[in-house]
Amino acid sequence: MSAIEARQLALTYADGTEAVEDVSLDIPEGEFFGFLGANGAGKTTTIKMLVTLLRPTSGSVAVNGYDIENSPRRVRESIGYMAQETSIDPELTARENVRYACEAYGVPRGRRSERIDELLDLVDLVDVADKQAKGFSGGMKKRLDVATALAHEPPIVFLDEPTTGLDPKARNRLWDYFERINDRGTTIFLTTQYLEEADQLCERIGVIKDGTIAVSGSPAELKSRVGGDVLELELDDPAETDLERAREVALDSRLVAAAEDVETTADGLRVRSGEARRYGTDLLVSLRDAGLSVVGFNVRSPTLDDVFLAVTGEEYDADAAGTGGGGTDGGDGGAEDAETTVREASE
Ligand SMILES: Nc1ncnc2c1ncn2[C@@H]1O[C@H](COP(=O)(O)OP(=O)(O)OP(=O)(O)O)[C@@H](O)[C@H]1O
C-alpha cells in the first residue's frame, strides 16, 4: 500500500489563484520524500490538502489508505504534521506541551508518561523538560514541535520547512532526528528551502513548478539528468558584452549541445556538459583567443541547485520565504537561533 497516493490534485483559492493545478504523487511506506519548489509554487497548499486542512477543488488523495474527503478523521489520526508556524504554547513547559499533544492525539492514559519521556529523549530536551518553552531558542522550539507532531507514533509525518531560519548546527541536529524517525519505518514528507537538506535526507524528490510536478526521482537520478558536469568560469571584471561574447564562444565549442546548457553568471559562465572534464580546457583556449581573460575555472559534479535551475529556469531561492533574512546557507542564521536562552546541560 502507498503511504500517500494523490491523483490530479488541484486547488484554486477563492480569489482565483490556481495554487495547485495537477499534482499526482505515489509515496511508498517508509520513504523519505522531499517536495521542492520556489516560493509560491504550491508546496504548503499541497501539504495542507494532504493533511485535510484544505479541501481540494478536484482530484483525490488517500493517506494511509484513507480517503481525505470521506475519512478525514482517520487521516488525521494516522499522521503527524509540523506546520511552518510553531504549535507549541510558550507558557507551558516542554513536558506540558508534549503531554498536551499526547492528550490531544489520544495516546492511552496508561501509556502517556512513558511516551512523554520517550519523546523528550528523542529530541534531547530531557534536561530542560520542566522549563517554559518561551525561553527556548529557535532550534529547541522546532525540536519541541517535532516531538509534539510525533506524540501518537504516526506512520506518516509531514514536515513543512522544519528547519527554516535555524543555524547549521541546529539544522543538523534536526536532520539526525528525522533520519532516526525514518529509520524506524516512518514515512516522511518534507518541504524545505534548503536543497542541501533534501539532498542529504531524501530518497526521492519531487519538484513542483506552476502547480504541477515538473520532475521527480532520487537525488542521484535528478543530478544525472543534468547531463554531465558543471563547468564554471570567471572572467576578469567582465562587461555585459564580454559575458555575451563568452557565451557565444561556449556555444560554438564542442562542449555544448544545447543553448540552455550555457548561462551567464554575474562574472562569467556556467556550462553544463557531459564533456566538461575532457574539453573544458579547450574552451579556455578559445576564450583567450577571443581576447577574454579567464581568472577562475572549476569543473564539478552537479548539485540539486543545478537540477533546480535546469528544471525551472530559476535559482532555488532560499532567502525570500519570509523568515526575516539570513544567508542562503544559513550563514548568520539569526541570533535568535543560537541555543543560548536556555542552555542544555550537554552543551
Ligand atoms: N489563502 C490564500 N488565498 C489566495 N492565494 C493564496 C492563499 N494561500 C496561498 N496563496 C497563493 O497560492 C500560491 C501557492 O502558495 P503556497 O503557499 O502553497 O506556496 P509555497 O510553495 O508553499 O510557497 P512558500 O515557499 O512561500 O511557502 C501562491 O501564489 C500564493 O500567493
Cα–ligand 1 centroid distance for 13 (angstroms): 9
Q: What percentage of the chain has pLDDT greater than the value 90?
A: 68
- Beta-bridged to residue 264, according to DSSP, are 269
What lines the ligand 1 site, CB under 6 Å? Answer: 13, 15, 17, 19, 37, 39-45, 321
Q: How many beta carbons lie within 10 A of that of residue 244, not counting itself?
A: 12
Cα–ligand 1 centroid distance for 119 (angstroms): 32
299-322 average pLDDT score: 77
186-199 average pLDDT score: 93
Q: How many beta carbons lie within 10 A of that of residue 101, not counting itself?
A: 24
5-17 average pLDDT score: 96
40-79 exposure pattern, b = at least 16 Cβ within 10 A, e = fewer: ebbbbbbbbbbbbebebeebebbbbebebeebbebbbebb
pLDDT single digits (tens) 273-302: 888 888 889 999 999 999 999 999 999 999
Cα–ligand 1 centroid distance for 24 (angstroms): 18
Which 8-state DSSP code applies to residue 221? H
* All cell numbers assigned to 106: 489520544
Cα–ligand 1 centroid distance for 19 (angstroms): 6
Cα–ligand 1 centroid distance for 163 (angstroms): 19
- 243, 292 in Cβ contact below 8 A? no
Residue nearest to atom 23 of ligand 1 (CA): 40
pLDDT band (50, 70, 90) for residue 270: very high
pLDDT single digits (tens) 149-168: 999 999 999 999 998 888 88
The answer for residues whose C-beta is within 8 angstroms of residue 263's C-beta and 6 or more apart is: 269, 270, 271, 309
196-219 exposure pattern, b = at least 16 Cβ within 10 A, e = fewer: bbbbbbbebbbbbbebbbebbeeb
Short-list 272, 253, 252, 254, CA closest to 262: 272
Residue nearest to atom 1 of ligand 1 (CA): 13
The model's pTM: 0.82
Task: Give the per-residue pLDDT at 313.
Answer: 80
Residue nearest to atom 17 of ligand 1 (CA): 44
For 310, what's the count of Cα atoms within 13 Å in the CB-facing half-sphere? 24
Task: Give the per-residue pLDDT at 322.
Answer: 38
HEC string of 56-112?
CCEEEEEECCEECCCCHHHHHHCEEEECCCCCCCCCCEHHHHHHHHHHHCCCCHHHH
- Give the best-scoring range by mean pLDDT among 39-43, 133-137, 319-323: 133-137
Closest ligand 1 atom, residue 17 Cα: 5
Cα–ligand 1 centroid distance for 17 (angstroms): 9
Q: What percentage of the chain has pLDDT greater than the value 70?
A: 91
pLDDT band (50, 70, 90) for residue 317: low
Task: Give the per-residue pLDDT at 161.
Answer: 92
Domains of the chain, first to last = 2-223 (3.40.50.300), 227-301 (3.30.70)
Which 8-state DSSP code applies to residue 137? -
Cα–ligand 1 centroid distance for 37 (angstroms): 11
86-98 average pLDDT score: 95
Residue nearest to atom 28 of ligand 1 (CA): 40
The answer for residues whose C-beta is within 8 angstroms of residue 84's C-beta and 6 or more apart is: 44, 160, 161, 164
* All cell numbers assigned to 255: 562542449
Residue nearest to atom 12 of ligand 1 (CA): 19
Task: Give the per-residue pLDDT at 318.
Answer: 53
Q: Is the pLDDT of residue 343 over 70?
A: no
Averaged pLDDT score across all residues of the chain = 88
Closest ligand 1 atom, residue 15 Cα: 4
pLDDT band (50, 70, 90) for residue 117: very high
